[in-house]
Structure 1
Amino acid sequence: MTPGIRQDGARVVPLRPLRHEEGAIRVDVRAKHFGRTQVLRDVHFSVSRGETVALLGPSGIGKSTLLRIVAGLDRDFDGSVQRPEEMAMVFQEPTLLPWRSALQNLLLVHPGLTPSEARAALDRVGLKGREDAFPRALSLGQQRRLALARAFAGRPRMLIMDEPFVSLDPRLANAMLSLAEDLIAEQRPATIFVTHARAEADRLASRVLELRGTPATLTPHPI
């Protein structure tokens, strides 16, 4: 495939680092296709530093596709994305290495941290005393806390969270939401938060957007 040109002839615009508003995200996706099927159309939005935008939509609508585009993992689309280079992602699953301890999982992603800094990051999310525990010895809630520690330890300018509280019971989900709120308030990244729960969006987000239609496009929601 010729660089910058899709096989179907559409132009591919490369990801560009943001130059003007430091720490912000600007997304302009005119179209995204899988083969001949268009899945996204005219998806345009921006996220300022310190702002959290919640992205809603039914399963299969294209939320994960949009996140991959925003993260720079999928560049085969018509449009452009501007974002800071310092990015962190929190997935639905904690994606921990089972043969490494909590501390080692953190240092693997952030090798520049000193052991004391890494321990402080674990302490910040409520994992003090669990630094040497392996994932199998951690509860699901503790694994999700470790995932948050891993995301925030590098002080990202941009944060993507893809349903990070799914499958948690209401009490634990509430505690994790409170922790995420505090960490976002402390570090103020530009945050995109995907959820199926409108209550989570209302609590965590300053703005709510929803993907609708075929191909999917964005509809703003009042807070």
Structure 2
Amino acid sequence: MIRVDILSKRYGRVPVLGPVHFRIAPGETVALLGPSGIGKSTILRILAGIDTDFEGCVSRPEHMAIVFQEPTLLPWRSALRNLTLANAGLSEAAAREALARVGLKGRGEAFPGQLSLGQQRRLALARAFAGRPELLIMDEPFVSLDAKTAETMIALTETLIAETRPATLFVTHARAEAERLADRILELRGEPATLSPHLVQTEGYD
């Protein structure tokens, strides 16, 4: 069980987050909703261990993967090497299979700059799922995509989550995406922001 117990988070003297408490069960997908700037990505960074300057505690597995808003690929490495470098022990054959699963079969030797934005996003997904993480964190991975590409990416993400079943925290401001992908939706509100359960399946987690 992943546990997030944030008492407060400040930037300087400015309080950003008030008490924020939630759990994510193994195999569960939780969406975190809220307007831009309210603190969604801050919670993501705290859960990931990137931001440790907060009051409270977080319990998470060591084996996790993050999909950011931008693909954050290594531009000087091939698509294949982006996968194997990020996932220790992943064989070349398994990496090529992971690329094929996201529609990048035969593109293993291509560099990120030779891929379209949609293909780069596919590569970022392949990198995240290839190691079969226990915890997956996604920070608005479909932002800035056109409607057709976004639909393709959402469908692909649905399939990959169903196959690998990580505990997932999905950060978005788009309610339709949250309702489609998540088992449970939580919403940030107020200043400093606090968390309110929004949809079903909250009992026993908070």
Q: Same fold (TM over 0.5)?
A: yes
Task: Show structure 2 runs of 5+ residues with no match.
Answer: 201-206
SS of equivalent to 1:53? strand
CA distance in 2 between counterparts of 1:113 and 1:30 reads 38
Partner of 1:177: 154
Once the 2 structures are TM-superposed, how far is the Cα of residue 78 of structure 1 from its aligned partner? 1.3
CA distance in 2 between counterparts of 1:103 and 1:95 reads 15
Q: TM-score, normalised by structure 1?
A: 0.87
CA distance in 1 between counterparts of 2:151 and 2:164 reads 20
Task: Show structure 1 runs of 5+ residues with no match.
Answer: 1-23
Partner of 1:195: 172
Runs in 1 of length 4+ with deviation above 3 angstroms?
none
Partner of 1:3: none
Number of corresponding residues: 200
Residue identity in the other structure for 1:55: L
Deviations 1:63-117 (A, max 9, x none): 1111111111112211111111111000000011222111111112124111111
Partner of 1:16: none
1:158 aligns with 2:140: no
CA distance in 2 between counterparts of 1:85 and 1:108 reads 17
**What root-mean-square deviation, in Å, do the aligned CA atoms of Structure 1 and Structure 2 show?**
1.1
CA distance in 1 between counterparts of 2:166 and 2:92 reads 24
Partner of 2:121: 144
SS of equivalent to 2:187? strand
Deviations 1:174-223 (A, max 9, x none): 11111111111111111000111111001000111111111000112126
Residue identity in the other structure for 1:44: H
- From the CA coordinates, give the structure whose radius of gyration is larger: 1
CA distance in 1 between counterparts of 2:82 and 2:55 reads 36
CA distance in 2 between counterparts of 1:66 and 1:52 reads 16
1:131 aligns with 2:108: yes
Pairing 1:62-141 to 2, within 5 Å after superposition: 62-141=39-118
Once the 2 structures are TM-superposed, how far is the Cα of residue 37 of structure 1 from its aligned partner? 1.5
SS of equivalent to 1:94? coil
Pairing 1:18-29 to 2, within 5 Å after superposition: 24-29=1-6
Work out the percentage of aligned pairs sharing the same amino acid: 71
Partner of 1:215: 192
